[in-house]
Structure 1
Amino acid sequence: IGWWANFATFKLNNKWSIHGEYQWRRVSCVSDWQQGLLRVGMNHQINAKAQLRVGYAWAETFNYGDYPINGLGRDFTEHRTYQMVTLTDKPGILDFSHRFMLEQRWIGRYSSPEVQKEDDYFYVNRLRYMFRMQCPLKGKTIDDKEFYAAAYNEIFIGFGKNVNENVFDQNRLGLLIGYRLNKKWRIEGGFLNQILQLPREITLPGATTGQNVFQRNSGFVINSYISVF
């Protein structure tokens, strides 16, 4: 997989800012669609180490892989609202962050194989937790025109009456090298591993009963972060 993402923060004052991002997610590096994700939100800086965000996300997931996420092998749309808290700390040269996100998801579905367009949405909840750490590759702080290393892991847990097989929804692991051009712009790139559980059982060749299926995707991610203030 190849994930390309742009993140932007528009500062309004010392407490409030607007968040925007678009993620262009591909399979076979760049040749085919996996997902497009647009997310917007409003940030409130509670204090120097805590930030709250609420917002909306739109996602379009495409038919990819041997066992598509949609049981009919079709693309589908998803609408989300979300609430997020990020806690940061800096022990020594390391920067730590803990991100907790609660999502309300409305996922498009087809009522029958004959239907050519989504005609229903089902609702599920999802809880996400991401731990990230980063450190400078030179000196004790990450300054302009300097590289840094970063790593993160994020786990996704589904809950609610409409969650089927995938209470464990997915896990993402990233190992990155970043470069800070200036205080307003930095870029990152590196390895990404995604393990995703399908929301339904699948009867595999030679089997007589349905089984849980886990999809493993590995590739790269490239992120750009821009702050406007």
Structure 2
Amino acid sequence: MKQFIIGLLITLPFLNVTAQERETHYSSWNTININKKLNDKWSVNSEFNFRRTNFLRDWEQFIVRPFVHYTFENDLDIAVGYSYIKNYSYAPYSTPIDAIENNIFQQLTIKHSFSTFSFDHRLRFEERFIDTIINNGDNSYTINGTTYRNRFRYKFQITVPIKNFNTTQGVSIVLYDEAFLDFGNGLRPEKLDQNWMFLGFVFRASEHIKIRSGYHDIYAKRSDLFINNQVWETTVTYKI
């Protein structure tokens, strides 16, 4: 399993997409993440994702994601949560009309810290309830019920501190790769749905505020089309 994951991470960025059509668009993703620690073991999070594309002209997605964490040790965390996702119609290759996804997810994060860097694995399984879009045959579309699908996400992240100003302020480099596996409506992977790569900086402004900003490159496979979304992403985390 370990060798498979390493091979997947090495291979994904070099997937050959030249034989198929590729669409590229440019987005700005901005997230507010609020964290409240209840005690030594329990904490709650709320994410608010504001995603715009086509040089900020159009909405791409809006996501609200509350979840609850339980920490066994400093290096092992489990979480369960819910995502409300509104997908907007912004291009011929996007959803033809605005549609909603509701999903429930379970998540395991394993962290490893060393003297000069740290890395973590995040495994997330999602049960997705997606609006079913019906083509009316007259160039119009309607929503008719929901489609159920499962998806597994594996994220590998490395964080390297480069400057500590004091005990609560510092700057780090962060790099991650995340693979999405589509399970259809079963428990066996059917295909690679998309792959995310991110490179950026994390600035710890204080004990309560952390800002992460950087370049996010996304490839999504849709039928015979590859969609490349080149994103500048910024996340502000506030710990209450």
- Specify if TM > 0.5: yes
1:226 aligns with 2:227: no
1:95 to 1:29, Cα distance in 2 relative to 1, 3 A: farther
In 2, Cα distance between equivalents of 1:29 and 1:142: 37
**Correspondence 1:216 to 2:228:** yes
> For structure 2, which runs of at least 5 residues remain unmatched after alignment?
1-26
| Conservation of the 8 A alpha-carbon contact between 2:150 and 2:185 | no
1:204 maps to which residue?
none
CA offset digits 1:30-76 (Å, max 9, x no partner): 221111111011110111110000011000001123412x3xx1111
Q: 1:101-155: per-residue Cα shift (whole Å, max 9, x none)?
A: 000000002334277642210000000001111111125x984232111111111
1:84 maps to which of 94, 107, 112:
107
Q: 1:103 aligns with which of 126, 139, 163?
A: 126
Q: Structure 1 regions of 5+ residues with no counterpart?
A: 202-211
Give the deviation of 1:91 after TM superposition.
Answer: 1.9
State the partner residue of 1:134.
159
Identity of aligned residues (%): 24
Q: RMSD over aligned Cα, in angstroms?
A: 2.0
| Higher fraction of strand | 2
**C-alpha contact (below 8 Å) 1:136/1:142 kept by paired residues:** no
Q: Match of 1:61?
A: 87
CA-to-aligned-CA distance 1:138-174 (integer Å, 9 cap, x gap): 25x98423211111111100113489xx721111111
What residue in structure 1 maps to residue 16 of structure 2?
A: none
Q: Secondary structure at the match of 1:138?
A: strand
TM-score of the superposed pair, with normalisation by structure 1: 0.85
> For residue 152 of structure 2, what is the amino acid of its counterpart?
L
Tell me how far apart the structure 2 counterparts of residues 195 and 102 of structure 1 sit (CA, whole Å).
20
Give the 3-state SS of the residue equivalent to 1:119 in structure 2: strand
1:82–1:130 CA distance, 2 compared to 1 (3 A): same
In terms of fraction of residues, the more helix-rich structure is: 2
- How many residues align structurally? 210
| Range with greater deviation from structure 2 (114-123 or 150-159) | 114-123
